Amino acid sequence: MEHITLSFPASRTFSGKALAGVVGSGDMEVLFTAAAGETLSIDITTSVDNSTSRWNALFDRLNLINGLPAGKLVIHDFGATPGVARIRIEQVFEEVSHA
């Protein structure tokens, strides 16, 4: 298991919390808690070692597309593909955008 901590500048603000996915399904679980500020803090626990560059690339892409919200993102990854990871992350951001 690898633990990764990332931080990105935030350009959006939301309120509330959201959960997407279930780690026990062999997928991944993403929990987002909105917060005031200018930073998105990301805490990843993954079964895939040496994947920091993959996560950085994913968040760089998400930041370019829509910007990232301020808050705390906790990810429990059990080997999800990059496509599934992106879907789960976008799901929590979409959910809190309507809170």
Contact 14, 25 (CB under 8 A): no
Sketch the domain layout of the chain as residue ranges: 2-97
- In this prediction, residue 68 has a pLDDT band, given cuts at 50, 70 and 90, of very high
Tokens of 3: 């633990």
Burial of 98 (0-12, 13-18, 19+ CB in 10 A): exposed
The pLDDT of residue 26:
66
The pLDDT of residue 79:
84
Report how far residue 12's alpha carbon sits from residue 67's, in angstroms, rounded to the nearest whole number. 7
Q: Of 41, 36, 30, which Cα lies nearest the Cα of 8? A: 41
**Stretch among 5-9, 34-38, 77-81 having the lowest mean pLDDT:** 77-81
Report how far residue 2's alpha carbon sits from residue 13's, in angstroms, rounded to the nearest whole number. 29
pLDDT tens-digit profile of 10-45?
999 999 999 998 877 668 999 999 999 999 999 999
pTM of the model: 0.92
The pLDDT of residue 23:
74
On average, the pLDDT of the chain sits at 93
Report how far residue 29's alpha carbon sits from residue 24's, in angstroms, rounded to the nearest whole number. 9
